[in-house]
Structure 1
Amino acid sequence: MVDFEWYRSFISIYKHNSVSEAARTRMMTQPAMSQHLASLEAEVGEPLFTRAPRKMIPTERGKALYTQVVPLIEALEETTQNLKTSAATSLPVIRIGSAHEFFREKLAPHIGSYQMCVIAKLGIASQVLDWLVEEKVDIIVMSQKLSAPGVEYIPYMQEEFVLVAPPNYNEPTFEDRESFQAWLCSQPWISYDLDLPIIRRFWREHFQKRPQTHPTHVVPDLHSVLMAIEHGAGISLLPTFMLDDHLSRNKVKIMYPSCTVFNDLYLAYQMKNRNSPLLKALIERMKKTVENNIR
């Protein structure tokens, strides 16, 4: 039977082209390293290296074995390290999926109170849902209830989007909605998506139609939108949870505060895990944090 250490020695020899250097790196004696290689070659049934003066040259079989073995060994070592980390923390592990902005602003400040080892995976809604379906995360925060087999959604909180502009931006008054809409259409808009998802919602709620405007700039995420606004590139709609510090430092301002859009957020998890004590404890803590922020 092949010993795991034989593979580690083989990889080290391959990387260093030298038995002596591989032995030094692995803190082994050279005879022990040579024995590992000889045992692996006997198991494989053919040489893995050609011995040259002061150099070990991999054979074609050696190259093929290295390509096959390295990802497996690295994955095994990573798993072992993760297990050690989990054991060292003595905390149960919970994996959370979320949008970048929401995790950074609303979850990251509170993970120390969860009494869990939090592993976060961040991405767009469709990605995050795929991770849940593939069981790469245990729970996700979603702004849409996208259909997926075996997934259950529960209400979490509302996020409020407001119209944000640079602090010195002109904010005229209007006698009617048509004039207000025409002015908005003439402004440079910044979006994180060509489809203008939240901007479309804003237009439907306040003007009962689709937006008659196109973004001047499209940037990767909401933090990039906020940075562009700070530097005078245009206006956009942003969630209020991102703005406190920027408003207090007069980096941006909220225009027409009565014109807002509310977005429902949900927690989603695999239905089969709904009674998991760890999951229930996390949901309770996340909801309590929201309640405390509202008070």
Structure 2
Amino acid sequence: MEMKQLEAFVAVVQYNSFSKAADMIYLSQPTISAHISSLENEIGAQLLIRSTKAVYPTQTGKELFHRAKSILALRDEAISSVSRIDRELMGEISILASTVPAQFLLPEIITAFQKQYPRIVFHIHQAGSQQVVEGLLGYRYDFGIVGTSVNSRCLLTVPFYHDRLVLIIPKSMPVNKGAMYRDLPAFLRQQPFVMRGDGSGTRVEMEQLLYKQGISVQNLNIVAYFHDTQSILSAVSQGMGISFVSKVAATAYEKTGQIKVYNLEQQAFTRQFHLVFKKEVVLSPVQRVFVTYLENYFANGNIAVYSEQRDCR
């Protein structure tokens, strides 16, 4: 068993394609196929299911995939520990993130990160929080980022950023702040409401916040559903209605005077964004550097703690 065989196998599983794998690791497709065939012959089992649309790992392939990634990570770690030139680290990191971190957190974080590590390239993909966890349990992404708690024995989580949901209101809408704060449920029921679509962490947190105020979604005058935060901000800025969004997402619209933003003070609902990755994976030097950087990026007193649940099957 050779490293090149493992690299080819890992690439095919990650990209579900022989041709894409060949492009990503700069080998010809026949060479990739030859590496996979040799690996299957050596192990004595089929590793991949080849269909007309994609390539998928067999159960044996899934087991080998995790071990292969760990072997390659340990190889990279050994090379890195000898060279000790972190700035020269090069590689790629793939992240599947929910809407708010993908659109409003990661651009800032990655820009700052690449000033120190300019040879590390990121592939950012966006999905709802539920889809992030499901996607991470597959094989294409190194990390996930979500704004809700993760209940999986297969995953580790690193909390790295505290966020808050804020009430956003069209600039043109007159608001009696005193009356609004005295009877927030009545105010929310009276206004047209722009709701986040199903499957997002913000939607889950919003429903919990409304529940604490004694309000169910059915009590609201919902005028539209949108499946991303940017669309909600745009809709509210156009006067469609009110809504709740992440504070970090509302900042730019508030600074340009397109919306009014209200913190709910004692009634505020805070949440934490988490970096998530597979428990059994050994982090490569590139991945480990990113995790450490993310833990220390926000200087607001947050301390990231690994949360591990064992017995993943």
Q: Percent identity?
A: 13
Cα pair distance change 1:110/1:84, threshold 3 Å: farther
* Counterpart code for 2:132: V
Superposed, 1:237-252 pairs within 5 Å as 237-252=244-259
1:165 is aligned to 169
Distance 1:221 1:82 in 2: 30
Q: TM-score, normalised by structure 2?
A: 0.61
Structure exhibiting the larger radius of gyration computed from Cα positions: 1
Q: Which runs of 5+ in 2 are unaligned?
A: 1-15, 28-87, 303-313
Regions of 4+ moved over 6 Å: none
Distance 2:299 2:26 in 1: 35
Distance 2:17 2:138 in 1: 18
1:223 aligns with 2:223: no
CA deviations on 1:171-225 (whole Å, 9 max, x unpaired) are 12456977431121010010122695333222234x2554532422111211100
Superposed, 1:65-214 pairs within 5 Å as 75-84=17-26, 91-112=90-111, 113-114=113-114, 115=117, 116-174=120-178, 179-193=183-197, 196-205=203-212, 207-208=213-214, 210-211=216-217, 212-214=219-221
Distance 1:256 1:142 in 2: 22
Distance 1:249 1:177 in 2: 25
Q: Is the 8 Å Cα contact of residues 133 and 148 (structure 1) preserved in structure 2?
A: no
Q: Is the 8 Å Cα contact of residues 163 and 260 (structure 1) preserved in structure 2?
A: no
Distance 1:180 1:209 in 2: 10
Q: Is the 8 Å Cα contact of residues 144 and 265 (structure 1) preserved in structure 2?
A: yes
Q: Secondary structure at the match of 1:215?
A: strand
Q: Which runs of 5+ in 1 are unaligned?
A: 1-73
Distance 1:90 1:276 in 2: 11
CA deviations on 1:123-155 (whole Å, 9 max, x unpaired) are 011211122111211111122233334211232
Q: Is the 8 Å Cα contact of residues 160 and 260 (structure 1) preserved in structure 2?
A: yes
The alpha carbon displacement at 1:285 in A equals 1.3
Distance 2:285 2:91 in 1: 11
Cα pair distance change 1:108/1:186, threshold 3 Å: same
Distance 1:194 1:131 in 2: 17
Distance 1:147 1:101 in 2: 20
Superposed, 1:35-50 pairs within 5 Å as none
Q: Is the 8 Å Cα contact of residues 143 and 264 (structure 1) preserved in structure 2?
A: yes
* Counterpart code for 2:229: L
Distance 1:280 1:253 in 2: 40
Cα pair distance change 1:179/1:104, threshold 3 Å: closer
Q: TM-score, normalised by structure 1?
A: 0.64
Q: RCO greater where, 1 or 2, for CA within 8 Å and sep 6 or more? A: 2
Q: Which has the larger displacement, 190-199 or 150-159? A: 190-199
Cα pair distance change 1:255/1:177, threshold 3 Å: closer
2:289 is aligned to 281
Cα pair distance change 1:286/1:224, threshold 3 Å: same
* Counterpart code for 1:242: A
Cα pair distance change 1:189/1:102, threshold 3 Å: same
Q: Is the 8 Å Cα contact of residues 171 and 255 (structure 1) preserved in structure 2?
A: no
Cα pair distance change 1:171/1:138, threshold 3 Å: same
Distance 1:153 1:99 in 2: 15
Q: Is the 8 Å Cα contact of residues 98 and 122 (structure 1) preserved in structure 2?
A: yes
Distance 1:224 1:293 in 2: 31
CA deviations on 1:102-123 (whole Å, 9 max, x unpaired) are 1121112332424222112210
